[in-house]
Amino acid sequence: MLKFALAGNPNSGKTTLFNGLTGSTAHVGNWPGVTVDKREGVYKKCAEPIAIVDLPGIYSLSPYTPEEVIARNYVLDEKPDCIINIVDATNLERNLYLSTQLLEIDVPVVIALNMIDAVERAGDKLDEKALEEKLGVPVVRISALKETGIKQLMDVAYKASKSPRKGSTALKDTALSHLIGDVKIALDGQGVKNPLFHAVKLIEGDEIEVAMHKDTLKMVEEFKKTFTDDVFGTDFEALIADARYKYISKNFDSVLSKKNKGSMKMTKSDKADKVLTHKIWGIPIFLVILFAIFHLTFSEDFLYLGAIFGLPSLEELGVDTETFGGQLLACFYDGAVFSPGVIINNIWNEIIVGNVLGWIKTGVESIGMAEWAVGLLNDGVIEGVGAVLSFLPPILVLFLFFSILEDSGYMARIAFILDRMFRKFGLSGRAFLPMIMGFGCSVPAMINTRTLADDKERAATIRVIPFFSCGAKLPILTAVAGAIVAAFGIGNADVITFSMYLIGIVAAIVSVLLMRNTSLKGDTPPFIMELPSYHAPQFKNLMAHLWDKTKHFVKKAFTIILASTIIIWVLTHFSFNWTFLADEEINQSILAQVSMFVQPLFTPLGFGSQLGEFGWVFVVAAVAGLIAKENVIATFSTLAACLVAVASLNVEGLDIEAEEGIDAVRAMITATGITVPALLSFIAFNMTTIPCFAAVGTAKAELNDNKLYKGTLLFWIVASYVVGAMVFTIGTWWWTAFIWAAVIAIVCYVIVTINKRSAAKKA
Ligand code: GDP
Ligand code: MG
């Protein structure tokens, strides 16, 4: 099959084009460096099928970071039949820098002049024929986003792939051309493929080349001795870079004629940035936006209208919530208008899931199976999986908002603001982007750390990524927050979830700063990411994100979560000598016996020995969470039926039959008497402890240093213990805040002093 590679600068639209060509739904993010591994798909609308490879974005073919190495090796070693070089037309000069290098390779190249829609919108003119003439390869105007020019691009590329092409260099009219010519002939004589490309890189002194062509290097060094430049002396890397840029500005200045040439008119993006990235207001604005998102997703009192106007409840209005109409109305309003997230959630759970699960359960009971089988299916499997599925709406709504922030270009600004604040202390803005991706799922976020050049910074980032609460942890937050509101009648679910997210973010920042000043010291590389311009989020992109999320979540519910609930149910319904236990005898079960043994360990966190004989359920849930975080709530739901039976709980309004995650947590609260601070500590513990299996595996693979990996596991255990204990003690005895503050101050002081001393010693 023919193979075309998409190569270009970060954020030039490669993935958007890739998705358009192959019909896939790869992640498109509005900041540089979202694609860090190559990805393949097939384009079927040419005479023969063509494999399309989406490469990570690169600024040049001299690699520094792991992702850049992937891209370079691909174009050199895998011999694509054609390279489609995507060029962001709104940033022509900088993008052509890479093009001049790609053109040195002996491979057909086609330039896709992307973002033509943006160029036209600005009223600028682009002469692609002139570009084509000067570069000597076909140039096609496209908009990956609006999907214009795509078919034409592929036809041109298909044709180009049929005739071989020899590399050409932008340096041919410079003083270096003789040197390049000679080295090229020498390499060609040795049978080296792509001799022109390697000749130029060798003269640049590129590390990889120098190691690869030791013999020819001697010759190059001899040549170099006879050559000095007035400006750059013998810095050939700078010399060549300069020559490329000169070539670009000399030949291509006239290609793009700007409408507002020279005028320093501020674009809309610049104006927005004046406010959104403001030195002082940047962070508060971010917090307000974040809170608004949680309010829209979780609040049962939209804009606090109910509290402000004292709106009547449905009962006071005389609405019968037993009727379907009443039930439907109750999804939108009850003493307060619900936020959009809650409304969607209610419709999903009250009307759809609640009824469907009810029918299935009745069906199971009517078949006439053995009692234990009915228990396993109804209380184990259906409760567990159903509880997890009930959290689909808040996850999707929250993700919709996060995707909007990301796609609009705002998240990249947050990285910029945080870089400004924390760079001095060893944390760069670049590292925040993978962390922010962690809100989706830790696995791709950890892979994304390949964009970081410094290994120690990478390790520190990987460690704190799980603190950015992922989609799977959301059910824990929602269920516990909901249960706190329902059982204790305090607070609002939006405030609780928002605060817990903040605790995660703060814990992450503090941990990175600690590590970067102690065990993982290192330089903070400069943050050279340009800020993408704001644009309205793309509906198609957003839907693609959500669809991916849904698929992933549902698939997990019916595989890992399903299997885990069965195991948990079995372990709670059999004793060590394998006799079947009734619900009431749960404390004799294998799981209970083992967990009770571990339970005291969690006493400082508030969910240990103080909870009495049923307290072990929290331990079980946390441990089940090591497989997948959704398991925490699935486990609660599986255990709830037993606890209700044994403690003969009679909680008003607790509908254990039509049970959701929230009611399961209420059952836990009533059975154990756990306090609010302990519940919050339980959330914090789960957020910061060892993440799920998949994330741990990814961390191991990405760290490729066993000592760092073991350190990472230890870090997670210690961090979660400390954060959990802090939340519990401060929540229970407010004055312990002073003790914690003092401890933190002392730790900081010691670190600063030690670092100062060692710095003085070095000097
Ligand atoms: P990559 O980093 O090269 O893979 O770039 P992406 O495909 O992730 O796109 C980066 C950003 O550019 C996203 O916000 C896209 O929506 C946007 N984008 C991509 N193609 C176009 C286009 O043709 N026109 C405009 N206006 N924006 C585009
Ligand atoms: Mg990409």
The per-residue DSSP string of 135-200 comes to HTS-EEE-BTTTTBSHHHHHHHHHHHHTS------TTTTSTTHHHHHHHHHHHHHTT-SSHHHHHH
**Assigned fold of 2-161:** Rossmann fold (3.40.50)
Average pLDDT over residues 398-426: 88
- The answer, yes or no, to whether any atom of ligand 1 lies below 6 A from the CB of 9, is no
Average pLDDT over residues 308-331: 89
- The answer, yes or no, to whether any atom of ligand 1 lies below 6 A from the CB of 144, is yes
- The answer, yes or no, to whether any atom of ligand 1 lies below 6 A from the CB of 153, is no
Token duo for residue 283: 């962070």
Q: Which distant-in-sequence residues (6+ apart) come within 8 Å of 94 by Cβ?
A: 9, 59
Q: Which distant-in-sequence residues (6+ apart) come within 8 Å of 75 by Cβ?
A: 5, 7, 55, 61, 83, 102, 105, 107
Residue in the structure block whose two tokens are 């600063």 = 752
Mutation pick for ligand 1 pocket among 9, 11, 269 (CB with most ligand atoms within 8 Å):
11
Mean confidence (pLDDT) of the chain: 88
What 8-state DSSP symbol labels residue 524? -
Average pLDDT over residues 736-753: 94
Query: Within 13 Å and on the Cβ side, how many CA atoms surround 420?
Result: 11
Query: Within 13 Å and on the Cβ side, how many CA atoms surround 140?
Result: 22
Q: At residue 665, does pLDDT exceed 70?
A: yes
Structure confidence at residue 242 (pLDDT): 87
From the CA of 39, the nearest ligand is 2
pLDDT-based confidence at residue 228 (cuts at 50, 70, 90): confident
Specify the ligand 1 atom closest to the Cα of 144: 23
* Atom 14 in ligand 1: residue holding the nearest Cα: 30
CATH architecture of 177-257: Orthogonal Bundle (1.10)
Taking only the tens place, the pLDDT of each residue in 498-524 is 999 999 999 999 999 999 988 888 877
Q: At residue 65, does pLDDT exceed 80?
A: no
Q: At residue 657, does pLDDT exceed 60?
A: no
Q: Which of 82-96, 452-466, 641-655 has the lowest mean pLDDT?
A: 641-655
Token duo for residue 224: 């170099």
Q: List the chain domain ranges.
A: 2-161, 177-257, 369-520+540-640+665-732, 735-763
* 551-555 contacts, C-beta under 8 A, 24 or more apart: 552/441, 553/392, 553/395, 553/471, 553/472, 554/389, 554/392
Give SS3 for 277: coil
How many of the other CB atoms lie within 10 Å of CB of 704? 9
Token duo for residue 222: 């001899």
Burial class from Cβ neighbours inside 10 Å (0-12, 13-18, 19+) for residue 367 reads exposed
From the CA of 9, the nearest ligand is 1
pLDDT-based confidence at residue 530 (cuts at 50, 70, 90): low
First to last CA, the chain: 60
Polymer length of the chain? 763
Q: Which of 95-109, 484-498, 673-687 has the lowest mean pLDDT?
A: 484-498
Average pLDDT over residues 417-434: 86
Does 378 or 111 have the greater pLDDT score?
A: 111
**Do 2-161 and 177-257 show the same overall fold?**
no
Spacing, Cα 88 to ligand 1 middle (Å): 9
* Atom 28 in ligand 1: residue holding the nearest Cα: 145
Which helix (H) or strand (E) element contains residue 53? Answer: strand 50-54
Spacing, Cα 71 to ligand 2 middle (Å): 12
Mutation pick for ligand 1 pocket among 28, 35, 531 (CB with most ligand atoms within 8 Å):
28
Angle between the N-to-C axes of helices 616-624 and 661-672, in degrees from 0 to 180, rounded to the nearest 10: 140
**Whole-angstrom Cα distance, residue 363 to residue 586?**
26
Strands, E assignment, 194-300: 256-257
**Whole-angstrom Cα distance, residue 703 to residue 713?**
12
Taking only the tens place, the pLDDT of each residue in 144-185 is 999 999 999 999 999 999 999 999 999 988 888 888 998 999
pLDDT-based confidence at residue 658 (cuts at 50, 70, 90): very low
Spacing, Cα 6 to ligand 2 middle (Å): 10
Taking only the tens place, the pLDDT of each residue in 375-394 is 889 888 888 888 888 889 98
Taking only the tens place, the pLDDT of each residue in 598-646 is 999 999 999 999 998 889 999 999 999 999 999 999 999 888 878 877 7
Residue in the structure block whose two tokens are 């298909």 = 158
- The answer, yes or no, to whether any atom of ligand 1 lies below 6 A from the CB of 16, is yes
Average pLDDT over residues 241-259: 84
* Atom 25 in ligand 1: residue holding the nearest Cα: 115
**Whole-angstrom Cα distance, residue 606 to residue 611?**
8
Amino acid at site 513 = L
Residue in the structure block whose two tokens are 């000597």 = 136
Adjacent-strand bridge partners of 3: 51
Spacing, Cα 492 to ligand 2 middle (Å): 39
* Residue ranges with CB less than 5 Å from ion ligand 2: 14-15, 34-35
- The answer, yes or no, to whether any atom of ligand 1 lies below 6 A from the CB of 15, is yes
Specify the ligand 1 atom closest to the Cα of 142: 23
Taking only the tens place, the pLDDT of each residue in 535-563 is 888 888 888 888 988 998 899 899 999 99
Mutation pick for ligand 1 pocket among 18, 145, 540 (CB with most ligand atoms within 8 Å):
145
Helices (H), 331-472: 340-346, 354-367, 371-375, 383-389, 392-408, 410-422, 429-437, 442-448, 455-464
Specify the ligand 1 atom closest to the Cα of 33: 2
Specify the ligand 1 atom closest to the Cα of 541: 16
Spacing, Cα 12 to ligand 1 middle (Å): 6
- The answer, yes or no, to whether any atom of ligand 1 lies below 6 A from the CB of 311, is no
Specify the ligand 1 atom closest to the Cα of 9: 3
Spacing, Cα 247 to ligand 2 middle (Å): 28
- The answer, yes or no, to whether any atom of ligand 1 lies below 6 A from the CB of 11, is yes
Taking only the tens place, the pLDDT of each residue in 273-297 is 889 999 899 999 999 999 999 999 9
